[in-house]
Structure 1
Amino acid sequence: MRDFVEGPSILVTEIQNAIQFSSIEDGGAMLSRLWLDNKTTTQMSFVPGPGGAPIRINNNTLELEGGTYEFTARFDYPQLEQLGAAEVLNPESQTLITEQEDQTTSLSFLSYTEKLVAGTWRFLTYFGRDSLISLLLMQPVLSEGEGGAIEAVIGAVLERINKTDGTVCHEETIGDYATYQNLLLNISSTKPICSYIMVDSNYFLAPAMKSYFLDTQAGRNRREAFLAQEATLNFGNESLTYGEITLLNAEEIMRTSAPFASSGGQTWANLVHLKPDQIVGQWRDSTYGIGGGRIPYDVNTALVPAALRSIAALSAAGFFPEHPNWDNLAAEYAQVWEDNTLHFFEETVPAAEARSLVEEYASTSGHGFPSETDSIRSDIVYHGVALEGNNNQPLVKVMNTDDCFRLFLVNTTNQKQLTSFLNQTATNIRAPFPVGLSTPVGLVVANPAYGDEPVYAMNFTNNAYHGTVVWSWQLAMYAAGLQRQLERCSSSVSPDFCSDRAVHKNVVAAYNHLWDLIEANRRYLSSEVWSWQYRGGTFEFIELGALPPPPGSNPTESDIRQLWSLTFLAVTRDESLR
């Protein structure tokens, strides 16, 4: 279905010709098909209800007159064990079942003892990145221990790791589609398939394991038994223990991060690049999501150092006895990555030039929104979404929301850099689009106004999957990240920005502005992504799929329920910061 909707819309003969049409009682009709495994069957029946006429079958087509019909779908593929709402939440969070019934019902629908799935309808399967980001944001409310949601997420990731290099599976292919994909390779097998095309997914596992197995009592109690478990699913890791698989991932991270961390190694060449044969590799995984860039901002400035810090902590706790020096070595690597990656992506636009660029963008966008350039009172500073972009662009000059990764995952100790970064981030959150990221319907995940080339405005639009649109989980990570940084001001050794009254005030204001937007758009938060239209002098919510797609693209429908869009069950406003 997804291939048909998002691809060339070609029907597969092997599938279509296997559909059997038959009449059933009460004037109904049934479509049935034997799967390619020659075992599983799917049945879809239609029966007239009040006012419905008998259904006619004409040349493999069901003809239904106007009226009411009952539709039933059945299939006998083995089902997973679902976690009920009470089972997916920890004891302290049970009140959410009545307080936020819709959200917890959705979370339960996507949660199973073996894995949590990404969303519905389009992504009702395992996605490594989605699962781990959801866990990191929702851990305070998720069930712990054997059979709980947290271990379901971590176990699912470990089961699917590529044992040849320790990389994390991005997306699994199972069921009839796996059989079909195997047949395309002249393989007669129902074995599931995993995609390992992403580079960001690898770096979320270590922070998730550190957060559970070191930072919670339940995780500390479960560590030994969990790591001793053997993989059982048919992804190539059978007989390996979870501890052995964890080591494979950590070794991959240490190996690939070492060149940049070496003496004199702080060059573009040693940053993390997308895989050579791929145009995507992190969460903005659409054709123009990072403007053709090869070196993504989020991965290099946040995910790598966060993973290294976590490996250092896990090593100090005895996780990797094969590498007794990792507690110090990984921490040394992390410091180099934290201190020496941001500047590659930083862009400063003088105020006068910024006004000119934004006014040009606003006047040519075709939407009619104001330029808001009166709010530009100083130079604009932001970090581009990637390096090595299309048209030989060294930096993809798109302001974006991926600052949230560094806010949430990295507690840098470089005081000058931290103060500057927080001030810049807060300013861009508060500034109205197209000067900054803020609209009445939320923060846009990309702002191409400063690109200074028409290609930016063409590729980052309000009808593009990763264009000037709003993603729920990015709002959640931003909110959680700002709160984490502000909470450091209450520690015994607080960062310098806490005593800088102007910067601290700016960050607190950004936090509250963001939460005001979140609360104003709460009815949309469970969905994956949404967009806007400018009417009546303001930005109004509109479903992304309701907009005509970009030229040469198929319509993109947002999932009505997305796992990482349910993270506001755990991410809540700190009222003391108002």
Structure 2
Amino acid sequence: MRATNWIRLTTYFAGAAAQGTSNTTCSSNATTLHLSDPPYENYFYSDCHAASHVVVTSPLLSSNLTIIGPRLLVAWPAGNSGIVTFFAPQNGENGTLGIQLDNSTNTGNALEPFYAPNGTGNPRVGVSGTINFNSSAILTVPILGSIRTIRDFTEGPSIIYPSIQDAISFSTTTDGGATLNRTWFDNVTTTYLSFTPLNGSDSVTINRDANTTLTFGAGTYQFNASFDYPQLEQLSPQEVLNNVSIDLIEQIPDQTTSLSFLSYTDKLLAGTWRFLTYFGRDSMISLLLLQPVLSEGEGGAIEAVIGAVLERINRTDGSACHEEVLGDYATWLNLQKNISSTAPQCDYKMIDTDYYLPIVVKNYFVDTEAGKNRTDTFFNTTASFLVDNSNLTYAQLAQVTAEKIMNTSAAFASHGGQTKDNLIHLKDGEVVGEWRDSTYGIGGGRIPYDVNTALVPAGLRAIAALSRAGFFPDHPDWNETADTYAQIWEDETLQFFEVSLSQDEAVSLAENYVNETSSFYTGLSNSEEIEGIVTFYGLALDGNNNQSIVRVMNTDDCFRHFLLNTTNQTQLSSFLNQTADHILRPFPVGLSSPVGLFVANPAFGGDPIYAKNFTNAEYHGTVVWSWQLAMMAAGLSHQLGRCKGNSVPDFCNDQTLYRRVLSAYNHLWTLINNNQEQLSGEVWSWMYNDGYQVEPLGAFTPTVSDIRQLWSLTFLAVHRENFKI
């Protein structure tokens, strides 16, 4: 992402609208952060009143103008709320309008706080800044209220909801400016956006034709973006990290500031700007990788993650919530059902999220002293986020999910039950269900590889350990039954996903793939790297075009490496060997590239549909995800670390294989170190022109990568180990 970072700590002070009021100042420092990722400039401001993320998009000469245009976006964690305004050049020449934020001549900051008392209600909070237009401009589309509404517009077919847009009020002000405001569906909260000309710039004019627009002259304008919704309580960098990790604040200020921006007392948020709310899977994967540096105890980050998941459990079937829906979007969804309510909702369509819960509970409440000391108090807490759970304790909700895992895994673990039908499938009517949750993320498959071969047995192992520690007293047999189930799932599931190709077939497929993908990849087939049978494990079963296995090489091996201590020695050695091959071999015969490991390689699919649906423009295609690099590194480190333990796996004594795995580990870290500038972002892509060049995913698709993603900050805790040959 080629991001350049600036961090500035400044003293809190009141915005102009609130100067002189006694409750407007804060007692500690504000935090500002600037992340440059052209054509996106990202500005963060956090103080005791609110946290804001402002994104200014100004197209480059090389930008695809069909998907990238000038816009100003403001995102707030509270209520997953925000504002976006799209601009166009008044002269109509696409690509000629450039916009930017100018730093304050008083403070040097691009953003200043906005705070205004609001009678007996919530104060108006937000940010103020100065936006500069290089030529006259028209504000074509404003959206005020919810990040989900903004996502529906930017990532879908430009969906506009009349009930939302028609509620925006436009008015001019005496100083030549204009104000937009919209009252939410709760009839209480209002979002405000105002523009005021500065330094002799033209007045803002309103065009009230069919679609109301604003017109600006070339020059600078002050903008104020604010809303009056209840705010979250942010964890400072000092509060989100444990005592032994405090030094990271000075060592890696960009990442620790970003982690703080996503961390609050009752939940951690998935990423910004697009996912600035609770996502269960994201927060628990992040916890698994970040736990060594996160704060423990009451009010700490670890309990914030686990408590948030438990609060949102579906009490009827034990499903863990994937994404919460709250604020204006929740009220709007309720109204679609003729329900007048602001109550939050949860998305339960994912099947993977459930299994992470017992793992993170076991890792903290069984494996750490801080967790053991907090167990009784924490699990006696009564849920309060969802009305349906308001009479249940965290202990009861944890058991409901554990019961679901035990019940759904029983059939496969039964005598003679090791059949495809007894594996875990996506929920009926859903095309997504695990982390590759885009339309073609698992190639239309119904039975995901990661869930069945890693998450189910890991969840079962955790349930067994929790039972032995005194959890789930209603099911004392789980201390043995869950382990028995886990052993069968560990040993018997890989076979269903295995793809094995002869050398000749693999070479032919790789070379054909290069011919099919000449529109975006013009490099070599690297087929000479194939020296024998090619083995990998497909993304899923029952894929598109009647494919029994989705034959896409992938990075999801990392789940087994990181989460399991498998004991089937022949299988473990073979599994490690094929993972090492994929890491060491260059794309398209492996996963390696100078820009990182691709999370998917469809070269061996044998069907043109794979090359079409797994490109460098697809969210889960031939692209790089930071957290998959982190989990693969942590997973291989875990497996290599077993060679120092009491029960040493066979591969440790096979010098050829051990060196191969160690070489893969070291090569992976070379790729990680060579892509430091991208690591804190969500996902990145590339172009090939006599070599690889990193490009933002947003250069190819309206689905813009988050500049900061929670699980992409895990290199705060994942480090290279010095394993010896």
Structure 1 and Structure 2 fold alike (TM over 0.5): yes
1:46 is aligned to 2:200: no
Q: What is the alpha-carbon distance in structure 1 between the residues aligned to residue 434 and residue 460 of structure 2?
A: 18
Which residues in structure 2 correspond to 1:64-213 (within 5 Å)? 64-213=216-365
Please name the residue that 2:722 is paired with.
Answer: 575
Aligned with residue 680 of structure 2, among 517, 526, 544: 526
Question: For each residue in 1:342-365, what CA deviation from the matched residue of structure 2 results, as whole angstroms up to 9, or x when unmatched?
Answer: 010011111111111101111221
Q: What is the alpha-carbon distance in structure 2 between the residues aligned to residue 431 and residue 26 of structure 1?
A: 64
TM-score w.r.t. length of structure 1: 0.98
Which residues in structure 2 correspond to 1:546-565 (within 5 Å)? 546-547=699-700, 549=701, 555-565=702-712
Q: What is the alpha-carbon distance in structure 2 between the residues aligned to residue 426 and residue 126 of structure 1?
A: 34
For 2:263, the aligned partner's letter is: S
Q: Normalized per residue, which structure has more helix?
A: 1
Q: What is the alpha-carbon distance in structure 2 between the residues aligned to residue 145 and residue 151 of structure 1?
A: 7
Question: For each residue in 1:377-410, what CA deviation from the matched residue of structure 2 results, as whole angstroms up to 9, or x when unmatched?
Answer: 1111100000000111110000000000010001
Q: What is the alpha-carbon distance in structure 1 between the residues aligned to residue 572 and residue 190 of structure 2?
A: 57
Q: CA deviation at 1:13?
A: 1.1
Work out the number of aligned pairs and report it.
Answer: 571
Please name the residue that 2:696 is paired with.
Answer: 543
Change (3 A) 1:51 1:439: farther
Q: CA deviation at 1:273?
A: 0.2
Query: Secondary structure of 1:575's match?
Result: coil
Preserved contact between residue 453 and residue 490 of structure 2 (Cα < 8 Å) = yes
Q: What is the alpha-carbon distance in structure 2 between the residues aligned to residue 37 and residue 202 of structure 1?
A: 32
Question: For each residue in 1:18-75, what CA deviation from the matched residue of structure 2 results, as whole angstroms up to 9, or x when unmatched?
Answer: 1111122432111011111110011001111235221111213111011111222100
Query: Secondary structure of 2:267's match?
Result: coil
Aligned with residue 566 of structure 2, among 412, 417, 442: 412
Q: What is the alpha-carbon distance in structure 1 between the residues aligned to residue 270 and residue 172 of structure 2?
A: 37
Please name the residue that 2:575 is paired with.
Answer: 421
Query: Secondary structure of 2:324's match?
Result: strand
Q: CA deviation at 1:577?
A: 4.9
For 1:10, the aligned partner's letter is: I
1:262 is aligned to 2:414: yes
Q: CA deviation at 1:207?
A: 0.5
Please name the residue that 2:181 is paired with.
Answer: 32
Q: CA deviation at 1:576?
A: 4.0
Which residues in structure 2 correspond to 1:175-324 (within 5 Å)? 175-324=327-476
> Mean Cα displacement is larger for which, 59-68 or 113-122?
59-68
Preserved contact between residue 138 and residue 567 of structure 1 (Cα < 8 Å) = yes
Query: Secondary structure of 2:175's match?
Result: helix
Preserved contact between residue 351 and residue 376 of structure 1 (Cα < 8 Å) = yes
Which residues in structure 2 correspond to 1:399-548 (within 5 Å)? 399-535=553-689, 537-547=690-700
Aligned with residue 385 of structure 1, among 535, 539, 559: 539
> Mean Cα displacement is larger for which, 24-33 or 438-447?
24-33
Q: What is the alpha-carbon distance in structure 2 between the residues aligned to residue 254 and residue 120 of structure 1?
A: 35
Preserved contact between residue 193 and residue 235 of structure 1 (Cα < 8 Å) = no
Question: For each residue in 1:399-457, what CA deviation from the matched residue of structure 2 results, as whole angstroms up to 9, or x when unmatched?
Answer: 00000001000110111100000011011111000000000000000000001111110
Please name the residue that 1:335 is paired with.
Answer: 487
Preserved contact between residue 46 and residue 69 of structure 1 (Cα < 8 Å) = yes
Preserved contact between residue 407 and residue 482 of structure 1 (Cα < 8 Å) = yes
Query: Secondary structure of 1:26's match?
Result: coil
For 2:167, the aligned partner's letter is: A
Change (3 A) 1:577 1:87: farther
Preserved contact between residue 408 and residue 481 of structure 1 (Cα < 8 Å) = yes
Q: Which sections of structure 2, spanning at least 5 residues, go unmatched?
A: 1-149
Change (3 A) 1:235 1:566: farther
Q: What is the alpha-carbon distance in structure 1 between the residues aligned to residue 712 and residue 341 of structure 2?
A: 35
Q: What is the alpha-carbon distance in structure 1 between the residues aligned to residue 387 and residue 494 of structure 2?
A: 37
Q: What is the alpha-carbon distance in structure 2 between the residues aligned to residue 447 and residue 11 of structure 1?
A: 36
Change (3 A) 1:235 1:291: farther
1:20 is aligned to 2:174: no
Change (3 A) 1:6 1:478: same
Q: What is the alpha-carbon distance in structure 2 between the residues aligned to residue 387 and residue 577 of structure 1?
A: 38
Q: CA deviation at 1:234?
A: 2.7
Preserved contact between residue 186 and residue 331 of structure 2 (Cα < 8 Å) = yes
* Bigger relative CO (Cα 8 Å, ≥ 6 apart): 1
Preserved contact between residue 681 and residue 709 of structure 2 (Cα < 8 Å) = yes
Q: What is the alpha-carbon distance in structure 2 between the residues aligned to residue 50 and residue 218 of structure 1?
A: 57
Q: What is the alpha-carbon distance in structure 1 between the residues aligned to residue 365 and residue 449 of structure 2?
A: 28
Preserved contact between residue 462 and residue 531 of structure 1 (Cα < 8 Å) = yes
For 2:461, the aligned partner's letter is: R
Q: What is the alpha-carbon distance in structure 2 between the residues aligned to residue 171 and residue 51 of structure 1?
A: 46
Name the larger-Rg structure: 2
Q: What is the alpha-carbon distance in structure 1 between the residues aligned to residue 571 and residue 473 of structure 2?
A: 35
Question: For each residue in 1:310-359, what CA deviation from the matched residue of structure 2 results, as whole angstroms up to 9, or x when unmatched?
Answer: 00000000001101110000000000000000010011111111111101
Q: What is the alpha-carbon distance in structure 2 between the residues aligned to residue 179 and residue 269 of structure 1?
A: 39
Q: What is the alpha-carbon distance in structure 2 between the residues aligned to residue 376 and residue 395 of structure 1?
A: 22
> Mean Cα displacement is larger for which, 58-67 or 426-435?
58-67
Preserved contact between residue 359 and residue 371 of structure 1 (Cα < 8 Å) = yes
Question: For each residue in 1:83-142, what CA deviation from the matched residue of structure 2 results, as whole angstroms up to 9, or x when unmatched?
Answer: 000000000000000100000000000000000010011100100000100000000000
TM-score w.r.t. length of structure 2: 0.78
Preserved contact between residue 662 and residue 723 of structure 2 (Cα < 8 Å) = no
Q: Normalized per residue, which structure has more strand?
A: 2
Q: What is the alpha-carbon distance in structure 1 between the residues aligned to residue 297 and residue 607 of structure 2?
A: 52
CA RMSD of aligned residues (A): 0.9
Q: What is the alpha-carbon distance in structure 2 between the residues aligned to residue 365 and residue 17 of structure 1?
A: 45
Q: CA deviation at 1:235?
A: 4.6
For 2:554, the aligned partner's letter is: N
Q: What is the alpha-carbon distance in structure 1 between the residues aligned to residue 160 and residue 622 of structure 2?
A: 33
Aligned with residue 566 of structure 1, among 713, 722, 725: 713
Q: CA deviation at 1:500?
A: 0.5
Preserved contact between residue 159 and residue 235 of structure 1 (Cα < 8 Å) = no
Q: What is the alpha-carbon distance in structure 2 between the residues aligned to residue 255 and residue 443 of structure 1?
A: 36
Preserved contact between residue 160 and residue 235 of structure 1 (Cα < 8 Å) = no
Question: For each residue in 1:275-294, what CA deviation from the matched residue of structure 2 results, as whole angstroms up to 9, or x when unmatched?
Answer: 01100000000111101000
Preserved contact between residue 192 and residue 235 of structure 1 (Cα < 8 Å) = no
Q: What is the alpha-carbon distance in structure 2 between the residues aligned to residue 25 and residue 506 of structure 1?
A: 72
Q: Which sections of structure 1, spanning at least 5 residues, go unmatched?
A: 550-554
